[in-house]
Structure 1
Amino acid sequence: MTLGQIAQHKGDLRDALIMYRKATEADPKQIEPWLLLSGALIERGEPEAADTALAMALSLNTEHIEARKLLAHLYMGNDRIAAAAEIYESLLSERADDRGILEGLGNAFRMMGRRESAIEAYRNWAALYPEDGNAWWSLANLKNYTFSNDELQQMRDHLALAAGTESQMHFALGQASEDRGEFRISFQHYLQANRLARRLETFMISEHEALIDRLVTFDWTSEPDDGAFSAVPIFIVGMPRSGTTLIEQILASHSAVEGRGELSVLGDLVAELEQPGESYPSIVSKLDTLALRELGQRYLAGVGVSSGVFVDKMPNNFLLVGLIKLILPQAKIVHARRHPVANCFSCFKQRFGRGQSYSYDLSELSQYYLQYRRLMDVWQSRYPGTIHNVEYETLVHGPDEVIKGLLDFCGLSFEQPCLDFHATSRVINSASSEQVRE
């Protein structure tokens, strides 16, 4: 197992899985190999196999705490949030000081809209581990939470002890200071938070600009596909923090629409297509009409939808609009737009869980935004009338007409719950989860 753990630590999940499986075969009654196998399968994005491995582990010991924690973690990734919360609550009665359980429970409650319960879990986490910046950032990331003076002082007192989570602590301090009108202090915290985060992730703006150049000059024409899919995806694209969650909440309030959140399926399919020396979008030119249709079918299979209307709100899919037009001609594309300064500064204040590393540097962030708008202008010109723009500011201040126009574009009849979207009860896994419920 040690070799498997070394391989997993190096990022070689394939070899790690081989070694973990050999360990389970050598001694199937040992629980540890099953736990390692399930953890690696979760990391690799194989939830069904991970579920099977965890079932084997729990058959050996139904009360095993780490196995139950892994199962709750698996459920969180599979949108079985209520089931995950139930497991975390049970675990908390046995280990009230486990930060992983407190974090998982708080996250589950936040996604379910149980704000006060989420706050209680996060506060308990921060009280037990005041040096953990993740606990304070979890409170700040509710977006509508106001830190008390005592909490603000605790963050300041423990900032020097927040090894590994200083960035998150600075982001939380930035928000706490901003809420108090201490804007210079707030901005300094945001600057330091982003500098620290940037050290952990790399981003080359020159490579991104080269990608945009290739997308702009690529020939996206193809033979029309006369086949029809019974499932209709609505892609909400744009920058992060541009209102994509709000638009999804509105659409998901319609009786005929299912909101699926930010799906990585399409991006994963593109990554699978790429080969050494041949990347997106040039690889698309190798696909004939049949292959393009099969790619669309693979997307729908990956999402797990065979019919009906659903929303995929992965903002970064703005890079894939041309591909969407080729493989899913029935899809609707909604473009979430927000004022550039408001949009970029909102990104700069956000500690993203993964990706979006361009947002941790103001210069790169502004260049990225310009390239995004450049590409969207090209898509709008190339596919006139088929990409619906929703201006965030207009939506917030005059929602009725904007929502009716959105529904009409998506071919949906008007339903009152779409206007009363804040009352819709559903799991929301994004930084805006609490804002859209206000």
Structure 2
Amino acid sequence: MSTNNPPASQSLTIAQALELANAHWNAGQAAQAEQLCLRILQVAPLQADALNLLGMMMLAYGKLDMALDYISKASQSPDAPAAIHSNLAELYRQKGLLVNAEQAARRAVKQEPTFVAAWTNLGIILQEAGKFDASLECLNCVTSLQPDNAEAHNNLANTYKLLGDMNNAKHSYQRALALRPDYAVVHSNLAVLLNDLGQIDEAVASAKRAIDINPQLADAYLNLAQIELSRMRYAEAQHWVNSIFRFSPQHVGALTAQAQLMVASQRYQEAVTSTRQALTIAPNSANTHKTLGSALHALGQHAEAEQAYLRAAELPGTVAEEALVARATLLLEIGDKDAATAAFEQALARFPGSHRVIAARCDSKLYREGDPDIAVMEAALAGEPRAPIHEQMMLHFSLGKAYLDITDSDRAFAHLHRGNAFKRASFSYDAAQTSTWMRDIAATLTPALLDRFKGAGEDSKRPIFIIGMPRSGTTLIEQILASHPDVYGAGELQALGQAVMRAGSFPYELANWSNNDLAQIAGDYLGQINRLAPDALRVIDKLPGNFLYAGLIPLLLPDARIIHCRRDPVDTCLSCYSKNFAGEQLFAYQLDELGQFYRDYQMLMAQLRQILPSDQFIEVDYEAVVDDLEGQARRLIDFIDLPWNDACLTFHETRRMIRTASVAQVRQPIYTSSKGRWHQHATHLAPLLAELGMEQA
């Protein structure tokens, strides 16, 4: 090879060799292209174009480190063109080295101010670094240079969305689709935006349109899965995840989405396995680390969960804020309030003025008049552009709590009504169907049925069921009992309901079950709780909704204990209405439906009270515990057949994970301020009071 013009058949100049190498590469003849580039580097080791082409080949082969090495060397040439710096920026971005990526991209645009690809790279890099305003400036530059570039409008829309400017984001997506109607990625991105705007049916249609155009666009399936997950339609969400696995069995996003579904259904160990599998493929996936943190968090592996959240927060992507909030919440749940407060402050230092962080810490504090957090949240709701629907909902619930704290009833309920309306619109719930089901349960569970199956289950004194309405004191009772050294508080388990559902339709198939069927359900349930705490003498399952299955418990586990928590009906319902529950309390977001559910619950418990064995069933009133903590605590410890322990009286000092809406309350000594508090808010509770057959006070 020569730098001079050679005889035609004997040698090539570097320029000719580069031209031929590019021709081979473009023709799919990779080996020939690579050999020519390597021959050029033997003559000119720092030849930038040859190094760049080799780098792009290595990238195509999936050899990111080798690609970065070649193109980094190419960029060191004094005459390296802007395209090389732009390529280097993209490689740094893929490695998660966003500072280096930004520097390289800025060199590219400085060298060639009209280079669209470089401006695009810089805009996306800044977007991933959380520098959304700077990203917007870059991507607006791209659309001004190429106003008919559909990809540019899509990238611009993505940044507008991250800035919370939904109107401009929607306009930019629509502009991209006007330029290119079959742009599947934009239909998929628009689906996310429409979901955030609360236009769920339109969001689903947009994602399905993306799939029609490109049946292997994994992001569209993932977006559909997230939409269905957000409205608690888990079977539909799993369908879309499975659709990805059919053409991409190791897809990281699908493995992560599957893990999120596993967390939602309390299959936490399986979720850990799924996320760890994903991380072997993509170790720098921030969303996967965050999901791993959620699973470990639920398993009570606090230190590992915190590390996963911190790892997610330091990686590129858009989940850092969520991961930092999750870490602060974890610290709050394990009782380290000082560390939790510091963690929320650290999140605010990273994301100054974040209304998401400020709203998320509402349960960690008692608001006073003039609290600056209230002004921030009000401004977030009043300002433009409007926040996504799910953020507006969170802000309304947090402000409702804040105004309840400062006894401003009118403002509290203005926000609670809005927050509950947003939540209620996000899922389907048939109150009449639920009522019918509960009445069918009551009609099925008769003394004759209990006699027929007597002695059918499994003997074990370990399970303690705490049942009742949510917000009726179940967490308080669990915390008192779990302060005993021989008792493990497992929290709100779905294990009983899942075991029953695996056996058949309850209560409709119950009459056809055999003793063996009941023994199998009992064994299934015991297997799940035994894995949680193999050494504890007693294990508490405090899922309040297990009252639906309470009539089965003596048949399944004749030595188990059932504690029914009761509280003033209106105080209970008001407390439910003021909470944006993490779990499926579908009845709680509309006052009349809440009242109807409470009446049906009372009806079912009245039936169960007549048939549950007195040695297995006890009732405790929240107000009685508040008035006589020691007397009620001793009664409960005696009921579960354990010796007394004074730690049960200092339950607020017990360090254990508490993952319910009552986390802040049970970290305090007994207080009486929640007794009868509904009276001061009665004018806002008319539909509830009407359902409960009560008049306003």
Q: TM-score, normalised by structure 2?
A: 0.57
Q: What secondary structure is seen at the aligned counterpart in 2 of 1:203? A: coil
Provide the residue aligned with 1:388 in structure 2. 618
Q: TM-score, normalised by structure 1?
A: 0.88
2:296 is equivalent to residue 75 of structure 1 = yes
1:189 to 412, 415, 426: 415
2:402 is equivalent to residue 179 of structure 1 = no
Structure 1 residue 150 displacement after superposition: 2.0
Structure 1 residues 294 and 146, CA gap change in structure 2 (3 angstroms)? farther
1:352 to 554, 577, 581: 581
- For 1:71, give the aligned amino acid: L
1:51 to 260, 265, 272: 272
Q: Deviations over 1:114-144 (max 9, x none)?
A: 2233234335556737575x53442223364
Structure 1 residue 93 displacement after superposition: 5.0
Provide the residue aligned with 1:116 in structure 2. 338
Cα distance in 2 for partners of 1:362, 1:143 equals 26
Structure 1 residue 337 displacement after superposition: 0.6
Cα distance in 2 for partners of 1:59, 1:226 equals 46
2:531 is equivalent to residue 314 of structure 1 = no
2:601 to 341, 358, 372: 372
- For 1:364, give the aligned amino acid: E
Structure 1 residues 70 and 355, CA gap change in structure 2 (3 angstroms)? closer
Structure 1 residue 59 displacement after superposition: 3.6
Structure 1 residues 309 and 81, CA gap change in structure 2 (3 angstroms)? same
> Which stretch has the larger CA shift, 62-71 or 179-188?
62-71
Q: What secondary structure is seen at the aligned counterpart in 2 of 1:322? A: coil
Cα distance in 2 for partners of 1:399, 1:138 equals 31
Cα distance in 1 for partners of 2:369, 2:659 equals 22
2:245 is equivalent to residue 20 of structure 1 = yes
Structure 1 residues 301 and 51, CA gap change in structure 2 (3 angstroms)? same
Cα distance in 1 for partners of 2:319, 2:259 equals 27
2:642 is equivalent to residue 415 of structure 1 = no
Cα distance in 2 for partners of 1:314, 1:76 equals 18
Cα distance in 1 for partners of 2:319, 2:281 equals 25
Contact 2:634 2:644 in 1 (8 A): yes
Cα distance in 2 for partners of 1:226, 1:24 equals 43
Provide the residue aligned with 1:37 in structure 2. 255
Q: Deviations over 1:193-246 (max 9, x none)?
A: 212221113322211221122112114323322765345210000000011111
Cα distance in 1 for partners of 2:549, 2:287 equals 39
Cα distance in 1 for partners of 2:587, 2:313 equals 37
Structure 1 residues 103 and 147, CA gap change in structure 2 (3 angstroms)? farther
Q: What secondary structure is seen at the aligned counterpart in 2 of 1:234? A: strand
Structure 1 residues 167 and 130, CA gap change in structure 2 (3 angstroms)? farther
Structure 1 residues 76 and 136, CA gap change in structure 2 (3 angstroms)? same
Provide the residue aligned with 1:402 in structure 2. 632
RMSD value over aligned CA atoms?
2.7
Cα distance in 2 for partners of 1:298, 1:123 equals 44
Q: What secondary structure is seen at the aligned counterpart in 2 of 1:135? A: helix
Cα distance in 2 for partners of 1:355, 1:50 equals 19
Cα distance in 2 for partners of 1:225, 1:97 equals 52
Q: What secondary structure is seen at the aligned counterpart in 2 of 1:241? A: coil
Cα distance in 2 for partners of 1:286, 1:262 equals 29
Cα distance in 1 for partners of 2:411, 2:657 equals 35
Structure 1 residues 119 and 321, CA gap change in structure 2 (3 angstroms)? same
Q: What secondary structure is seen at the aligned counterpart in 1 of 2:248? A: helix
Q: Deviations over 1:17-59 (max 9, x none)?
A: 374276246xxxxxxx145224314414554444334334434
Provide the residue aligned with 1:162 in structure 2. 387
Contact 2:567 2:622 in 1 (8 A): yes
- Flag the structure with more relative contact order, 1 or 2, with Cα contacts below 8 A and sequence separation at least 6: 1
Contact 1:143 1:435 in 2 (8 A): no
Cα distance in 1 for partners of 2:412, 2:241 equals 44
Cα distance in 1 for partners of 2:622, 2:570 equals 13
Query: What are the residue-to-residue correspondences of 1:58-97 with 2, within 5 Å?
Result: 58-60=279-281, 62-92=283-313
Cα distance in 2 for partners of 1:314, 1:18 equals 33
> Which stretch has the larger CA shift, 80-89 or 143-152?
143-152
Query: What are the residue-to-residue correspondences of 1:200-349 with 2, within 5 Å?
Result: 200-218=426-444, 219=446, 220-221=449-450, 222-225=452-455, 228-230=458-460, 232-274=462-504, 279-305=505-531, 308-349=537-578
Cα distance in 2 for partners of 1:416, 1:227 equals 34
Cα distance in 2 for partners of 1:247, 1:53 equals 35
Structure 1 residues 48 and 387, CA gap change in structure 2 (3 angstroms)? closer
Structure 1 residue 296 displacement after superposition: 0.3
> Which stretch has the larger CA shift, 61-70 or 251-260?
61-70
Q: Deviations over 1:75-115 (max 9, x none)?
A: 12322223101232344456798212112211211111122
- For 1:17, give the aligned amino acid: N
Structure 1 residues 24 and 231, CA gap change in structure 2 (3 angstroms)? farther
- For 2:421, give the aligned amino acid: R
2:424 is equivalent to residue 198 of structure 1 = yes
Contact 2:400 2:411 in 1 (8 A): yes
Structure 1 residue 73 displacement after superposition: 2.3
Cα distance in 2 for partners of 1:71, 1:353 equals 18
Any unmatched runs of 5+ in structure 1? Answer: 26-32
Cα distance in 2 for partners of 1:356, 1:59 equals 36
Cα distance in 1 for partners of 2:569, 2:344 equals 32
Cα distance in 2 for partners of 1:428, 1:152 equals 26
Cα distance in 2 for partners of 1:126, 1:411 equals 48
Contact 1:137 1:169 in 2 (8 A): yes
Structure 1 residues 287 and 98, CA gap change in structure 2 (3 angstroms)? same
1:140 to 343, 347, 362: 362
Structure 1 residues 200 and 416, CA gap change in structure 2 (3 angstroms)? same
Contact 2:473 2:622 in 1 (8 A): yes
Cα distance in 2 for partners of 1:97, 1:68 equals 10
Contact 1:82 1:112 in 2 (8 A): no
Contact 2:457 2:518 in 1 (8 A): no
Any unmatched runs of 5+ in structure 2? Answer: 1-215, 229-235, 669-697
Provide the residue aligned with 1:28 in structure 2. none
Structure 1 residue 293 displacement after superposition: 0.9
2:661 is equivalent to residue 434 of structure 1 = no
Structure 1 residue 360 displacement after superposition: 1.2
Structure 1 residues 223 and 323, CA gap change in structure 2 (3 angstroms)? closer
Contact 2:258 2:274 in 1 (8 A): no
Contact 1:37 1:50 in 2 (8 A): no
Structure 1 residue 147 displacement after superposition: 7.7
Structure 1 residue 181 displacement after superposition: 2.6
Cα distance in 1 for partners of 2:366, 2:321 equals 23
Contact 1:82 1:108 in 2 (8 A): no
Cα distance in 2 for partners of 1:381, 1:320 equals 15
- For 2:582, give the aligned amino acid: G
1:5 to 181, 199, 222: 222
Cα distance in 2 for partners of 1:8, 1:94 equals 24
Contact 1:259 1:312 in 2 (8 A): yes
Structure 1 residue 430 displacement after superposition: 0.8
Contact 2:483 2:648 in 1 (8 A): yes
